[in-house]
């Protein structure tokens, strides 16, 4: 039996509506100035080509950049400048700067935002939540259907190793460009979408190359308040077309301040830790000699979750040098009727931002009554149980260790400060979807 729950969707593009509900505009091509063959041939869009950070001392370079108290980095001003331009052009569904935001009093500093505009009442859709990997469906909304005016720029690695910017670059569809576009239902200032290799129509699933692109974007923005997030299917992604989200929030997220316990040092010096004293159990990956090292470890971890049908969220912070990985089971519990009615009534979708401590609330009542205890209660429902988390952690270890063998790179060596090292061989093989989080009916 296919498991579905009624969702109140969020519109991320002005073209994400019932087909035919939009009156065609009087421009060339199909009339919508879209990204498909009808309109894209002669399109010109800005192109930002980032410098690939060199292998040696790459990490230092990124960290240095992040900490410099210089005027806005170029990518930063490009994102915000283009975003503001789209505000002026009236492309957003509401003015996010008028949404009330407050820090919830308490030890953790959860942030609450009242965002009534994001709530779309008209079109509840059915969305399958029990499969993390689902094939791309051309007939459903995807980002090739957005208008060119929603695209801010193309984003790619520079060929000659220097940062380049072209305000009017042709769109080389054959060459798999990645786009940065606005989210027309922003939850904060500068809320954008990074859509890797948009014309390849990839389903929502992490691969090494795409995660690396996201890390590069965080590094290029060079602003610790600019984070990227990723939601898998089953963990509140609403569109099955590979994308990351990103926005600015000028305060630390509670998850970034949570204490951690180091578990291991992995290939390339990537440090792996476990979150402590946080309502959602999760892993933290940090540092490494290069962004590639970090991206490889994290993407291997995500791929193992995908292959084992475990919904998850990812937060990329600290200019791309820190990545949080949070397996979750809220949607499954919701579908099984195991979430209490009070939490359900809030209609809060605990995705990457909420799990990180930025609670986007839809009802004034919930905003007024926001408390640390309420935030904690919601997030605790999102978390895997300790037992399940340990199993998932073992799966991830196994995946990372396996890649290493096939890589012919230095073997995995837990350091002596490992508090809680895991030998995957001591764990029984975890059958995909056999635990409380997965619905088999």
The count of residues in the chain is: 441
Among 12, 39, 219, 275, binds Zn ion (CB under 5 A): 39
Helix (H) or strand (E) run with residue 248 in it: strand 244-248
Nearest CB to Zn ion, comparing residues 37 and 251? 37
> What is the nearest approach in angstroms of Zn ion to the Cβ of residue 152?
19
Of 179, 198, 210, the residue nearest 296 (C-alpha) = 210
- Cβ pair 236, 349 in contact under 8 A: yes
Nearest CB to Zn ion, comparing residues 142 and 273? 142
The stretch near Zn ion (CB under 5 A) out of 23-31, 58-66, 251-259, 348-356 is: 23-31
Examine residue 35 and tell whether it contacts Zn ion (CB under 5 A): no
Cα 4 to Cα 161, 301, 341, 356: the distances in Å are 47, 27, 18, 26
> Residue 413's CB: how many other CB atoms inside 10 A?
11
Examine residue 38 and tell whether it contacts Zn ion (CB under 5 A): yes
Q: How far apart are CA 285 and CA 150, in angstroms?
A: 33
Among 11, 34, 193, 214, binds Zn ion (CB under 5 A): 34
Q: Between the CA atoms of 350, 356, 358 and 359, what dihedral angle is there, to the nearest 10 degrees?
A: 30
125: left (phi over 0), alpha (psi -120 to 50) or beta: beta
Nearest CB to Zn ion, comparing residues 39 and 235? 39
Nearest CB to Zn ion, comparing residues 29 and 224? 29
Helix H, strand E, coil C: the string for 87-149 is HHCCCCCCCHHHCCEEECCCCCCCEEEECCCCCCCCCCEEEECCCCCCCCCCCCCCHHHCEHH
The stretch near Zn ion (CB under 5 A) out of 21-29, 42-50, 74-82, 379-387 is: 21-29
Examine residue 37 and tell whether it contacts Zn ion (CB under 5 A): no
Examine residue 27 and tell whether it contacts Zn ion (CB under 5 A): no
> What is the nearest approach in angstroms of Zn ion to the Cβ of residue 178?
20
How far, rounded to the nearest angstrom, does the alpha carbon of residue 28 sit from its chain's CA centroid? 34
Write the DSSP symbol of residue 420: S
Nearest CB to Zn ion, comparing residues 29 and 252? 29
Which is catalytic among the residues 191, 216, 241, 243?
243
Examine residue 29 and tell whether it contacts Zn ion (CB under 5 A): yes
The stretch near Zn ion (CB under 5 A) out of 26-34, 137-145, 340-348, 371-379 is: 26-34
Among 30, 276, 419, 429, binds Zn ion (CB under 5 A): 30
Binding mask 291-310 for Zn ion (x = CB under 5 A): --------------------
Q: Would residue 243 show up in a list of annotated catalytic residues for this protein?
A: yes
Cα 286 to Cα 256, 323, 403: the distances in Å are 12, 6, 18
Q: How far apart are CA 244 and CA 178, in angstroms?
A: 11
> What is the nearest approach in angstroms of Zn ion to the Cβ of residue 239?
19
Nearest CB to Zn ion, comparing residues 38 and 56? 38
Which residue's Cβ has the minimum distance to Zn ion? 30
Active site residues: 243
Question: Using CB under 5 A as the criterion, which residues of the chain lie in contact with Zn ion when the complex forms?
Answer: 29-30, 34, 36, 38-39
């Amino acid at each position: 039996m296919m498991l579905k729950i009624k969702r109140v969707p969020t519109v991320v593009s002005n073209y994400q509506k019932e087909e035919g509900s939009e009156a065609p505009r009087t421009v060339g091509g199909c009339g919508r100035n879209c990204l498909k063959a009808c309109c894209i041939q002669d399109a010109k869009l800005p192109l930002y080509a980032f410098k690939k950070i060199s292998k040696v001392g790459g990490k230092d370079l990124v960290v240095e950049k992040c900490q410099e108290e210089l005027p806005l980095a170029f990518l930063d001003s490009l994102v915000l400048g283009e975003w503001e331009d789209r505000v002026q052009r009236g492309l957003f569904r509401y003015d996010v700067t008028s949404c009330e935001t407050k820090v919830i009093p308490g030890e953790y500093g959860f942030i609450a935002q009242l965002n009534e505009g994001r709530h779309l009442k008209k079109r509840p859709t059915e969305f399958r939540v029990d499969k993390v990997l689902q094939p791309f469906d051309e007939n459903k909304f995807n980002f090739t259907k957005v208008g060119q005016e929603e695209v801010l720029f193309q984003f790619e690695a520079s060929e000659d190793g220097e940062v380049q910017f072209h305000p009017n670059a042709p769109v080389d569809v054959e060459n798999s460009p990645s786009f940065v576009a606005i989210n027309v239902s922003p939850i904060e200032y500068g809320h954008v979408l990074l859509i890797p290799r948009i014309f390849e129509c990839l389903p929502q699933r992490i691969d090494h190359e795409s995660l690396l692109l996201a890390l590069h974007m965080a590094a290029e923005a060079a602003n610790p308040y600019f984070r990227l997030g990723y939601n898998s299917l089953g963990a509140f992604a609403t569109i099955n077309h590979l994308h990351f989200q990103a926005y600015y929030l000028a305060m630390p997220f509670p998850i970034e301040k949570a204490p951690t316990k180091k578990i291991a040092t992995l290939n390339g010096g990537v440090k792996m830790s476990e979150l402590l004293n946080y309502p959602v159990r999760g892993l933290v990956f940090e540092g490494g000699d290069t962004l590639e090292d970090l991206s490889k470890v994290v993407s291997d971890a995500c791929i193992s979750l995908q292959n084992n049908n475990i919904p998850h969220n990812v937060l990329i912070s600290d200019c791309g040098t820190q990545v949080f990985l949070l397996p979750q089971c809220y949607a499954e519990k919701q579908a099984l009727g195991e979430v209490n009615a009070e939490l359900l009534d809030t209609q809060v979708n605990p995705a990457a931002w909420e799990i990180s401590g930025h609670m986007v609330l839809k009802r004034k009542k919930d905003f007024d009554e926001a408390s640390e205890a309420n935030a904690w209660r919601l997030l605790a429902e999102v978390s895997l149980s300790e037992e399940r988390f340990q199993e998932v952690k073992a799966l991830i270890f196994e995946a990372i260790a396996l890649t290493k063998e096939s890589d012919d790179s230095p073997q995995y060596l837990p350091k002596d400060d490992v508090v809680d090292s895991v030998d995957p061989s001591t764990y029984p093989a975890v059958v995909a979807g056999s635990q409380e989080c997965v619905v088999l009916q």
